[in-house]
Structure 1
Amino acid sequence: MDGKRAGTGTGSGTPSRRGILAITAFAGLGALAGCGTAHPDDGKGGGGSGSGAGHKPSSSQSPSPSRTRKKRPQLPRGGRELFPEYRLVGYCGLPGAPALGRLGDGDPAERVKEMEKTARKYAEDRKPLPVLELLATVANPSPGPDGTYRTRTPDKTIRRFHELAREQEALLLLNIQPGRSSALDEVKALDDWLEHADVGVALDPEWDMGPGQTPGDTYGRISGGELNDVSDHLAGIVDDHDLPDKPLVFHQVADSVVEDEKKMRPAKGVPLIKSADGIGSPGLKRGTWRQLVDGMPDGVHTGFKLFYEEDAETSRLMKPKEVLALRPKPEYVMYE
């Protein structure tokens, strides 16, 4: 292989770049604790701006007797339905591992401010809604103590990025690379965070390994039925807590990483977003797009991924107007 993912997204093997990123991610997670403790607010509950897992309101904080009805939870910039009101634009990453995306390169607070400007370039006829796509479960090249070939990002790091998202009125997407764990189990491990109205899920099926497979050596895969299971689980959370739309993104680098795609069915309150994930020139990326969206199931929304470094290595980064010229027009644009 040539060290990059094919722009057409047709290969069944994994280029060496994926193994490098897996190792980088594994090394980056070792620095997460230090990254978190460098910010004194990481240990706080965050007040009303997103306390996160394990931080429930004190029992002494009872509602005012004058309140007769609690306001229904809203999306970060208002309303309860994502589409067609908003266009999502975000950065992906992990602090301490800049090779994994823009969000982990430099000061996260500065990246969030930059992301707002980027989102406005894509707004067009919709309202911009920035997204922080944080790697919450990262595939590893080694099995670890439980043999799952994955590491979970500490709660204090998720809390820090949830607070950053709230400061910017943005969505937080928790990205999951399951390793040999299951996607549904990893989503369930994040349930406390998913009870928030501004937190959704992104899945990376290429890192969803079967028995005997090692992250970085080959592409993993997920089935339409498994995606439905995750979608149904999120729909249950939405219903239980009367939440607004909670997005479920799945990044697709090749046809092979999603099996039985026709079996996918949207669940109430859970917009399903298929994100075309391929590296290369604008022409190659358009080819990947056409291949992946052709015959897409009804009710599935579209996403498109851009790579600041890899796309520019052999060509150039696509401009917003070029991305918006794709058909169907992407409803989520993510930069890695």
Structure 2
Amino acid sequence: MRYLSSLSLGLTSLGLALTLTTLPGCGSRSGTDSENATAVADTVAKPVVVDTIQLKREAMRRDSLKADSIVKKSGQLPGAILPGKRIVAFYGNIRSKGMGILGREPKEQMFRKFAGVLKEWQAADPSRPVQAALHNVTITAQGTPGKDGKWRLMNSKATIEEVIGWAKEHNCIIFLDVQPGHSTLQAELPKLEQYLKDPIVHLGIDPEFSLSTMPGVRPNQRIGTLDAKDVNFTVNFLARIVSENKLPPKVLTVHRFTRKMISNYKNIKLDPRVQIVMHMDGHGDPTLKKDSYQHYIVNEPVQYTGFKLFYEYDARPKPHHIMTPAEVIALKPSPLYIQYQ
């Protein structure tokens, strides 16, 4: 469990270069056969090389400049969820009863509970619409290394499609969450690209279970870490998907409840195509949670903020309680992403 302390693809370079050759036209022949053969040989010997990587970089730069110009005029890109709405999410895995409220209870019972929670948040802040979300841990850190020694396992295609279907049935957006284990985001995120092309699908990354820099450490033995360069890779990866598929901005949640979980936060680069939420992910009594939010989220600002509430652990021991919407909204800055586990 997570206990609180005091608190580009960039473009993945494929290394491809397309070689174009100019072939002789179909007009009348002139000169000798040997002269024609020499002319053809000369033509073939002088290929035109197109640097596709550079072309992609230039296209991304144009997209980024266009996005920046729109932001300067209107404050955000069309279709952006934040800051106009507050996202309220149920977290877990639909194949596991132990990971969170999403999966712990039968589907319809869970959605009835979720509907009541959404009403509570809307009543607590009528000025800001609530956006319902499911947050499914899709690549999960494991207690055994597996065949490739990476200590992580991805949900099946059927499971991912099923939970996306749940979201669509109930007018939710959905976050696919990644716990990379001893793998890396650079290796794992491309596996989710086909799903991220859907406008309702967003992304979460969890430094707690990122252990590639800690050889031999099993998930849950130590708290993992990600650096700004990993967050920037993720932002560039999502920005490319947004541009290539003409999508509204993606939301990226980054879990955090210790300082070392994210290093060099000042180097995280913003892109209007991706809205970054630094998410306070620890459990405990309300006073400790508020302190953690201040120390690890507010004091090291990136863009937007999030706050997690635990059904099973925040209320232990009594008289501790799960913070109410009004209590969370009163935090400064007021979190725009709320997650229940």
**Superposed pair shares fold, TM > 0.5:** yes
Q: Which residue of 1 aligns with 2:208?
A: 206
Q: Which residue of 2 aligns with 1:250?
A: 254
CA contact (8 A) 2:121 2:325 kept: yes
CA–CA separation in structure 2 for the residues paired with 1:260 and 1:212: 25
Q: Which residue of 2 aligns with 1:53?
A: none
Query: SS at the partner of 1:151?
Result: strand
Q: Normalising by structure 1, report the TM-score.
A: 0.76
CA–CA separation in structure 1 for the residues paired with 2:97 and 2:325: 23
Structure 1 residues 116 and 147 mapped into 2: Cα distance closer, same or farther (>3 Å)? same
Matched, 1:306 2:309: yes
Matched, 1:111 2:132: no
Q: Which residue of 1 aligns with 2:219?
A: 215
The aligned runs of 1:245-324 (5 Å cut-off) are: 245-298=249-302, 300-314=303-317, 315-324=320-329
Provide the aligned C-alpha RMSD in A.
1.5
Shift of 1:106: 1.8
Equivalenced residue count is: 264
Deviations 1:70-112 (A, max 9, x none): xxxxxxxxx6111222100011111242221000112224323
Shift of 1:256: 0.8
CA contact (8 A) 1:7 1:281 kept: no
Q: Percent identity?
A: 28
Q: Which residue of 2 aligns with 1:99?
A: 98
CA–CA separation in structure 2 for the residues paired with 1:4 and 1:83: 27
Q: Could you tell me which amino acid in structure 1 is paired with residue 218 of structure 2?
A: T
Structure 1 residues 8 and 94 mapped into 2: Cα distance closer, same or farther (>3 Å)? same
CA–CA separation in structure 1 for the residues paired with 2:305 and 2:335: 5
Matched, 1:228 2:232: yes
Query: SS at the partner of 1:189?
Result: helix
Q: Normalising by structure 2, report the TM-score.
A: 0.74
**Structure 2 gap segments, 5+ residues each:** 8-77
Between structure 1 and structure 2, the one with the greater Rg is 2
CA contact (8 A) 1:8 1:285 kept: no
Query: SS at the partner of 2:181?
Result: coil
Shift of 1:4: 5.8
Q: Which residue of 1 aligns with 2:338?
A: 333
CA–CA separation in structure 2 for the residues paired with 1:172 and 1:325: 26
Q: Could you tell me which amino acid in structure 1 is paired with residue 331 of structure 2?
A: L
Deviations 1:260-281 (A, max 9, x none): 1111112231100000011111
Q: Which residue of 2 aligns with 1:161?
A: 163
Q: Could you tell me which amino acid in structure 2 is paired with residue 295 of structure 1?
A: N
Q: Which residue of 2 aligns with 1:8?
A: 6
Structure 1 residues 212 and 7 mapped into 2: Cα distance closer, same or farther (>3 Å)? closer
Q: Could you tell me which amino acid in structure 2 is paired with residue 87 of structure 1?
A: R
Deviations 1:216-241 (A, max 9, x none): 11011000111001111100000000
CA–CA separation in structure 2 for the residues paired with 1:8 and 1:89: 26
The aligned runs of 1:34-73 (5 Å cut-off) are: none
CA contact (8 A) 1:122 1:324 kept: no
CA contact (8 A) 2:5 2:258 kept: no
CA contact (8 A) 1:90 1:119 kept: no
CA contact (8 A) 1:197 1:243 kept: yes
CA contact (8 A) 1:194 1:200 kept: yes
CA–CA separation in structure 2 for the residues paired with 1:137 and 1:99: 15
CA contact (8 A) 2:174 2:201 kept: yes
Query: SS at the partner of 2:194?
Result: helix
**Structure 1 gap segments, 5+ residues each:** 10-78
